[in-house]
Amino acid sequence: MRLTVFIIASYLFTTVANASEVVPANVSLSENDRTLMAWVDSHANAILEELRQHVDLNTGTANIAGLDQYRERLQSDLEQLGFATQTHASAAQAILTCGGGQMQFADHLIARRQGGNGPRLLLNGHMDTVFPHDDEFQKLMVSEDGTLAGPGVADMKGGIVIMLNALRALNAQGLLKDVNLTVLLNSDEEIGSLGSRPLIEELAREHDIGLVFEGSWGNTVTRARKGLGQARLVVRGRESHAGGAHPDGVSANLELAQKIVEIEQLTDYEKQTTVNTGVMRGGEKRNTVAGCADAYIDMRFPDQAAGEQLQKGIKRVAAKQFVHNPNHPELPITEYWSVLHRPVKPADRKVDELIALAMGYSVLIGEPITGTRYSGGGTDGSIAQAVGLPTMDSLGIDGDGAHSSRETATVKSLIARTKLVAVLMAHLLVQSE
Ligand SMILES: [Zn+2]
């Protein structure tokens, strides 16, 4: 029974529609497109070397120095392509944990080229990865069969290198003159864009089409995405000696453990809602009743109402009291914080048109996109689309194993997707509105 449920759930989370390799009538390769593709082929070694340099520079979300260095590099690359750049700071945020503290964000990068009356494109990516500066997984490895392994190679340094080189190819053909292009690279995507969300929303409102360079799994593109939320609980009890003063203690661990059991029951695969307590910590010593415990929880949902339901459910359990000590009836105390940080990204007619266009070009380029996907993962494209910007995401490199030391991608996809993005942008930038 359990297995059946699991199989159904996996299916729902990764549904891939079959691609037909039919090229729409409005899609064909021009001489210009072929020149763009030839530019990419003749720069293939340099593109791979550039990806190595990006991956080898650690940019874990908390590694502010690494992210500063990466941002300066990208800033200079984009300035060389005629972009005017600026940085944007997000204020530090308090974190609800037993230890408290503040979350610092590295600056985000905005680069613009403006001119003419063509559609305004917003190219979006994130510079941060999930790998801290002291992680064992730090360097790009290239196998003879063209497999790339490295931290953030798919999520999403491959995508950044693809975007950058597509822009270079366009620039070499003089196709960046009189275009409206904005590149937004944020530094906090991997913690839910908690700092950069207002910036993403502001820029999304100023543009007509959004392209996001997150990795593409199995050479697919993502058509729709679940919404995401997060919650934190801190339970404060009372420390006491586990031997001499056991009745005087109020165990924060016991209280949190019981809360988590109830919170996890909010998962409902049929409704496609899931809750995951990814982190829980509590106590200091074996022989002390735990004075404080905290948890960090993830939520996924198929529509906004379901997200709000989950949020309410967690809040309700947070307010319940499981541990009662008549000597300290006011304890334990539970603090709660939550945010639905990524809206649901439903299928959208304009995005479907972009997908059809990209699929058509991918066939002509010789690396056909294999299908579209409904994903349980969220991206900044969900934030942009929720404020009205039709956004196509997963234009980045074909990869696997993101957020783990098994993260891989392929050289073949690095080159094919660079061509695809160059050709797609060339088409979109000259489109009349
Ligand atoms: Zn990512």
Rounded Cα distance, 149 and 117, in Å: 42
Number of domains in the chain: 2
- Cβ-contact 230, 297 below 8 angstroms: yes
CA 394 / ligand 1 centre spacing (Å): 9
Mark the residues whose beta carbon lies below 5 A from ion ligand 1: 155-156, 214
Q: Which amino acid is at 144?
A: E
- DSSP H helices in 182-303: 197-205, 252-264
DSSP-assigned beta bridge partners for residue 82? none
Name the residue range of residue 306's domain: 227-341
CA 130 / ligand 1 centre spacing (Å): 9
CA 11 / ligand 1 centre spacing (Å): 22
User: Which residues have C-beta within 8 Å of that of residue 54, sequence separation ≥ 6?
Assistant: 70, 152, 157, 160, 161
CA 316 / ligand 1 centre spacing (Å): 32
Q: Which pLDDT belongs to residue 360?
A: 96
Work out the burial of residue 162: count CB atoms within 10 Å of its CB; fewer than 13 is exposed, 13-18 middle, 19 or more buried.
Answer: buried
CA 382 / ligand 1 centre spacing (Å): 12
Q: Which pLDDT belongs to residue 20?
A: 57
Rounded Cα distance, 402 and 417, in Å: 18
- Which pTM does this prediction carry? 0.91
Neighbours of 171 (CB within 10 A): 16
- Residue after which a domain boundary falls, among 277, 308, 341: 341
Rounded Cα distance, 245 and 173, in Å: 78
CATH number for the domain harbouring residue 271: 3.30.70.360
Q: Which pLDDT belongs to residue 16?
A: 52
Q: Are residues 363 and 286 in the same domain?
A: no
Q: Are residues 178 and 194 in the same domain?
A: yes
Q: Are residues 220 and 354 in the same domain?
A: yes
CATH number for the domain harbouring residue 66: 3.40.630.10
Q: Which pLDDT belongs to residue 425?
A: 97
Q: Are residues 410 and 311 in the same domain?
A: no
Of 412, 370, 367, the C-alpha closest to 16 is 370
CA 174 / ligand 1 centre spacing (Å): 30
Q: Which pLDDT belongs to residue 163?
A: 98
- Residue after which a domain boundary falls, among 316, 341, 366: 341
Q: Are residues 370 and 406 in the same domain?
A: yes
Q: Are residues 334 and 355 in the same domain?
A: no
Rounded Cα distance, 59 and 189, in Å: 12
Q: Which pLDDT belongs to residue 7?
A: 35
Q: Are residues 112 and 26 in the same domain?
A: yes
Q: Are residues 37 and 132 in the same domain?
A: yes
Q: Which pLDDT belongs to residue 431?
A: 63
CA 385 / ligand 1 centre spacing (Å): 16
CA 179 / ligand 1 centre spacing (Å): 27
Q: What is the mean pLDDT of each run of 10 residues along the chain (433 residues)?
A: 37 47 84 97 98 98 97 98 97 94 95 95 98 96 97 98 98 96 97 96 98 95 96 98 96 98 98 97 97 98 97 98 97 98 96 96 96 92 98 96 96 98 95 50
CA 156 / ligand 1 centre spacing (Å): 5
- Cβ-contact 58, 106 below 8 angstroms: no
Q: Are residues 322 and 423 in the same domain?
A: no
Q: Are residues 208 and 250 in the same domain?
A: no
For helices 158-172 and 31-42, angle between their N-to-C axes, nearest 10 degrees: 120
- Residue after which a domain boundary falls, among 307, 341, 375: 341
CA 190 / ligand 1 centre spacing (Å): 7
Q: Are residues 6 and 118 in the same domain?
A: yes
Q: Are residues 86 and 205 in the same domain?
A: yes
